[in-house]
Each structure stands twice: as C-alpha cells, then as structure tokens.
Amino acid sequence: MTFQAHRFSVAPMMDWTDRNCRLFHRALSRNALLYTEMVTTGAVRFGPRERLLGFSPEEQPVAVQLGGSEPAELAEAAKICEDVGYAEINLNVGCPSDRVQDGRFGACLMREPGRVADGVAAMKAAVSVPVTVKCRLGVDEQDIEAALDAMADAVTAAGCDALIVHARKAWLQGLSPKENRDVPPLDYDRVFRLKARLPQVPIAINGGIADLAAAEELLRPRDGVTLDGVMLGRAAYQNPEILLGVDAALFGEAPPHATARAAVESLFPAIAAHLERGGRLSNFTRHMMGLFPGRPGARGFRRLLSEEGPKAGAGLDVLRAALDLVRDHGSLSGRPEADAA
C-alpha cells in the first residue's frame, strides 16, 4: 500500500469507527482508507487483542491509530498491529482530551516534535508497513507556522511516510474536545504552505470538509500546489452516502454497489453472523442512521432502527422493514437528491 494510492480516507473517531462501522463503509467504497478508533499502546500490548484490534479482511485497506509517546512502547505496539494485518500505523498527535493529555500523548505532543520523531523512528525500525502521523496546526499559544514546520520536519527526518493535518489549532486549556472540533478556525492555506515547502512529503488535509465536492476542491491545485489526500470525519459518518460517490469521483471506478440499499443488503450475511455470536442488531445499524437524508421514509427508517434495533432478539427482519420504509434508495453519485415532498 502506498499513501498516494489512497487519497481519500475516513478519520479515526472514538466510539464510531469500530469494525462494524468500517465493514459498512467498505460496502460503500472499495478505495477509501479506513481507520480504527484510537487505541493506546498499553491496550495493544496488554489488552484483549481480538476485541481491540480484530477486523475482517473485507475491511482492507484499514489502518490502526495508536496513542502513545514512549518510543519502545510504540514500536512494540506497532509490530503487534502489523502482525495482526493492518496496512498502516498512524500516530495520534491531535486528540485534545484531558485523558490523553494526562497520558502525555495526543495533541499535547505538538510541543514535543523530537519525542514524536523518536516514536516514528522506533516504529519504522519495527515494521515494514507505512508509519504516518496525524497532527494539528499547533496548540494553545503556539505559532502555527513554527509549530507545524517543526513537527513536519522532525517526523519526516525520522522516516514518516505521510502527514495528515487537521487544519485547526487545538486549545488544551479552555475548550472541550467537542469544541476543539469546531471552535478553532480552519486554516487550509497553512496546509498548502506546508506542502509547498515539503513537496516530496505526502500530505493530506482534515477538518471541516463537509461533502465530496469540498474534498474534490481541496485536491485541486492551488497556486501550483496539490495536496495528496483528504480525510473526512464526521461528514462521512453522519452522511455515509458520501462514500458511495468516492470511487467514481476520486478513483475513476464504479462503487462496489449501485445504491446505499444494495450496500446494506450486502452486509446481511455479516450481520447474521454477528447476531449468531450474540451481538445486537444495533451494533451495526447505529452506524447507518445517516442514510437516505432528505428522502421520503428516512425519518421512519431512523425511528424504527433506533427503537427496535437495540432490543434483544432484534434481527434482520427489523433492518429489512426499515429499508422498505424508504421509497428512493439513491444512485451511483453519492450525492442524494433533496426530498421533493
């Protein structure tokens, strides 16, 4: 796998991008690079590996995001993840939560580019798959020109294969993690300036990208500078039909299924197997609530799944009934038409 071959990705999101979510997203796009939720090096090394790291081969290409700052621990965790089969190891240098700060990883590492570089070097020595970093523009009162350049230069020198930049600062004091996703202003131009200075480094952009049209715009040259990739987070999760348009728009290929309904139906065997193992229907359907926006029956689809999906014993009949409430199931474009009613 090379980073350039996967120029569209879905961001790692805690409590969202679990293995069921990723399997669903893969049914919408063959080419999108998918990420796990962040998992700490301690959890990888000592926790229940199948529950934390297990995934289906059908999810590939899938990358794991690690949280940590000790080079030896990062190297050990990266090797475990490579052996499990992940296609990329990504280091989180962007999460602003208090818990992450207490563990000395995430966005607070923007202040320690040397430590991040040591971690990248240790992981590169331990694995053969790509090692990447996801970071912010800076934190708190840092100057975003100096802070981002220092991080990029340090990790690039250590062998980092790609840099994914969330184009906002993180405020570790005064803003909650939720506020840090929206309140600090976006600065896409800063990411383009970084790419102009480091044209040989694969650089992707993340943050506030609302739809596929915005993603396509960010991949167009700007003053002779072209970014290597875009990463969508909440927009791809809350309106997953965006992913149905990715393969055609960004890779020149047909999507794996012509409609969102067909994509969901392709998951019936996996959902049935999950139910047989004692799982709940809602473990899958909670990731599907954003389907069919603006279409007749979409509200009923969401209501039925939210009310019946979590119940013990809920089966595929509930999902089929919910799908049958939606009269227009979409097209190849991944750009749903507005509800005419």
Helix (H, G, I), strand (E, B) or coil at 86: coil
Q: Tell me how far apart the alpha carbons of residues 34 and 23 are, in angstroms, rounded to a whole number.
A: 9
The DSSP secondary-structure symbol of 328 reads: -
Q: Which residues of 13-23 are buried (b: 16+ CB within 10 A; e: fewer)?
A: beebbbbbbbb
Neighbours of 146 (CB within 10 A): 10
Q: How many CB atoms lie within 10 A of CB 311?
A: 12
Question: Is 95 labeled as catalytic in the residue annotation?
Answer: yes
**Per the residue annotation, which of 21, 81, 95, 160 is the catalytic one?**
95
* Residues 126 and 78: beta-carbon distance below 8 Å: yes
Cα separations in angstroms, 154 against 120, 190, 234, 279, 281: 9, 18, 29, 44, 45
Query: How far is 137 from 274, CA to CA, in rounded Å?
Result: 40
How far is the C-alpha of 75 from the C-alpha of 126, rounded, in Å?
6
In this structure, the number of other CB atoms found within 10 A of the CB of residue 182 comes to 13
CB 78 within 8 A of CB 104: no
Q: Which residues are catalytic?
A: 95
